[in-house]
Structure 1
Amino acid sequence: MSEWRKDPIVDRWVVIATERSKRPSNYKEIRDEKSSNECPLCEGHEKETPPEIIAYREQGTGRDTPGWWMRVVPNKFPAVDIEGQPYLQERGVYQFMRGVGAHEVIVESTKHEPGLDTQSVKQVEEVVWGWRDRSLDLRKDQRLKYIQIFKNTGPTAGASLEHTHSQLIATPQIPSEVNAEITGMNEYHNRHGRCALCDIIAQELREGERLVAENRHFVCFAPFASRFPFETWIVPTEHQSDFGQIRAQQVQDLAAMLRSVVRKMTLMIKNIPYNIVLHTSPVNVQDDHGNYHWHLEILPRLTTIAGFELGTGYYINPTPPEIAAQALREIQEFYPLQKESELEVARYV
């Protein structure tokens, strides 16, 4: 029997369609259509991108030259523009402003590979440090109110380049999705005196049926009201509102868990398309967002959003999160023996 489930944070219902119940074997392998074109993100092609913003690179190597292991560049075709002021204007019933913001590409490796699952844990740590460093730098711009870090893997998930990379778009306003989470967490705290996600973590650890993994500083679980098959969240067990507060040990544990979970998904369904979004508290605002709890959402793109979802905002998920979590827990990870790269501790701007 199908079941309506309400998200405990935001006012959103989903249908867990058990009548259509799908296990990993029910999803078709995604065709791997590799690009045959020269890749502008590969090492040695630095002049094919806009000038780098930062890079973690070997000492003695110059900007926009080989020798880096993680590199951030402006998006060549940005959705927003860093120039100008976001003044709100009105014309009749319409409001608009200049498309101010920042749009950057985080090149996650010199290797031409599609995802994080084939990188070393050390390399994924460097990616997380890159996310943090750019978040801390961009918030110095008082025009920017929110910094959205995200990753698209596979054409179905919106990736236009195969080379593993993530992106960052900073905006002059707080996205409605994040605002809904802020409101929901504030309301929950007002009612219970506790953080909603902290309580969710405690319940998922206690019940275990939607738990995917845990380590010293993070828990990964399939949300009770999952919108998508095999949707998982990675949440710090310590209450933190701002991703920018992340510490060195947390970076290590987040990198290990993120690579592990993505690896499990790719072993489960070859070439699985997915999005990763980082939700964190806004910046440069007067309101206190101490009740917010930052987290990573991993969203596989195995189903199509159709008329019902677009018309109602309700999602239909044919794979119950309990089945998804069990399938991911049971997957054993195997890696070829390889030596971790010795990356320089120093980072050069």
Structure 2
Amino acid sequence: MARKPTTKNHIRGLLDELEPDLRAAFMASLDEIKSKVSLKSIIDRLEANDIEGAVRAANISPVAYRQVQKTVESIFESGGEEAAKKVPRVTANNGSTALFRFDIRHPTAEQELRQYSSNLITRISEDQRQAVRESLANGIAQGRAPRRTALDIVGRINRVTGRREGGIVGLTTPQARYVESMRLRLSSGDPKVLEKIFGMSRRDKRFDRTIMKAIETGGKIPAEMIERMAARYADSLLLLRGETIARTETMTAFNKGQMASMQQAINEGKVSSDIVVKVWHAFLDERTRFTHRQLNGSTVGFYDRFITARGAQLMHPGDPEGGSGEVVCCRCWMETKIDFLADLD
């Protein structure tokens, strides 16, 4: 007889299934932005020296991430359904049993989901617009042609796939700066500057021989080759960005769903908040933050916060209020439990 998976293995397996969905939704949203962008509009604005107009023409708006919002909603609901299983069934005098079901349209749940997803999409969109704004300004300052600058933003079409590749749409502002740094180093022609590229871990190492040749001969790397190398670097960073968002926000949405589900049960009188507790579970390996390893197994009341060794306070793993240092790529998860012995104290 097959053994029933532990709660830890069950939740981990569920999260492993949900995470790729969010990553795919994020990448699909970027493909949609790039496929519908008006390159001519960006170029026209750049020729008019209108950076803000060019940023608007890039069409990076919250509505472009509707697939991400839908996926976040699904993950949120999955977390709520998991927590709902912990709420005890209520048996009436006539012997009928009422089973609690999480309603994602419950006012408290809907408000929590709307606020969380709105903040997430706004944060992603605003950061990308800032990255585009800086990149456009750099292109103008360095005297690049408007068309080249625009293509550096949205990427160049691969004639085989028909998709735009490279570009900085989707990257964070710091990541876009890394791409610009890569491009400047490749264009420098200075052996000492070129050597610094080998310290950029996300570079495409298939181009290392080309860089070594330029260092040894003192020759210039052709402009077309520079764009290819910068594009591959940008694509690598974009994959990292997608993985980071998926890992971080899957955990956050799932745990927020658990919180919303228990709050609904409390509001409906299915369970008392006094006997609901939250347990922090961490993955005990070298990748886990020491502050989270110390929290492993910690139990707090439903309305209480977990407090890390750094003093950060989180309602659940992935709580944005804890700050990026405690949240980004967190793999911890929260378990809600009903402590029936609490009422006996």
**Which category describes the TM-score, using the shorter chain as reference length?**
under 0.3
Structure 1 or 2: larger helix share? 2
Structure 1-normalised TM-score?
0.23
Larger radius of gyration: 2
Relative contact order (alpha carbons < 8 A, sep ≥ 6): 1 or 2 greater?
1
Q: TM-score scaled by structure 2?
A: 0.23
